């Protein structure tokens, strides 16, 4: 079975350090994921998520700080509001809102990172491929 491919946008103050710590502790994780560090979860453009899905990524995770614990005061509030609207759009079109995950964590929560990612892999596994959406223009990269 093909494992789903995941793209992770991790805020560099919380999510990224958590992911790093998970690596240092040698926690066993499913392999096909990439982490892209961003300054803040609110800086992740929804367009980038859409573009990633179009380029053949099966799921996108956005990791930010806890609500109220954001380095930039209230920035992650706006991020989660935006992501949930995008989930609505993905649900409408049948891509499925569960391809987008938003999670909060702090820098020392490496085991939480492990659990979040493993659960996300489990959720994406049975989902159909985005094939019908990708083929007509002839680009599956």
The residues that touch another protein, with contacts defined as CB under 8 A, are: 46-47, 50-51, 53-54, 66-68, 73-74, 77-78, 81-82, 84-86, 88-96, 127-128, 130, 132-134, 136-139
Q: Shortest distance, CB of residue 85 to another protein, whole angstroms?
A: 5
Cβ closer to another protein: 3 or 93? 93
Cβ–Cβ contacts within 10 Å for residue 127, how many? 14
What is the C-alpha end-to-end distance of the chain, expressed in Å?
20
Please, is 68 exposed, middle or buried when counting C-beta atoms within 10 Å of its C-beta (0-12, 13-18, 19+)?
A: exposed
Cβ closer to another protein: 51 or 108? 51
Question: 31 CB contacts (<8 Å, ≥6 apart)?
Answer: 3
Q: Shortest distance, CB of residue 33 to another protein, whole angstroms?
A: 20
Q: Is 97 helix (H, G, I), strand (E, B) or coil?
A: helix
Cβ closer to another protein: 23 or 55? 55
Largest distance between two CA atoms of the chain: 44
Cβ closer to another protein: 39 or 88? 88
Name the token pair of 94: 């049948």
Q: Shortest distance, CB of residue 18 to another protein, whole angstroms?
A: 18
Q: Shortest distance, CB of residue 49 to another protein, whole angstroms?
A: 9
């Amino acid at each position: 079975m093909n494992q789903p491919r995941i793209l992770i946008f991790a805020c560099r103050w919380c999510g990224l350090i958590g992911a790093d710590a998970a690596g240092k502790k040698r926690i066993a994780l499913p392999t096909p994921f990439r982490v892209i560090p961003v300054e803040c979860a609110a800086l992740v453009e929804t367009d980038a998520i859409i573009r990633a899905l179009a380029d053949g990524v099966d799921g996108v995770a956005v990791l930010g700080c806890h609500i109220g614990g954001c380095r930039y005061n209230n920035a992650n509030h706006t991020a989660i509001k935006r992501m949930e609207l995008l989930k609505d759009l993905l649900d409408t079109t049948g891509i499925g809102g569960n391809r987008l995950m938003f999670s909060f964590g702090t820098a020392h929560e490496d085991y939480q990172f492990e659990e979040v990612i493993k659960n996300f892999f489990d959720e994406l596994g049975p989902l159909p491929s985005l094939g019908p959406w990708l083929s007509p223009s002839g680009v599956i990269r």
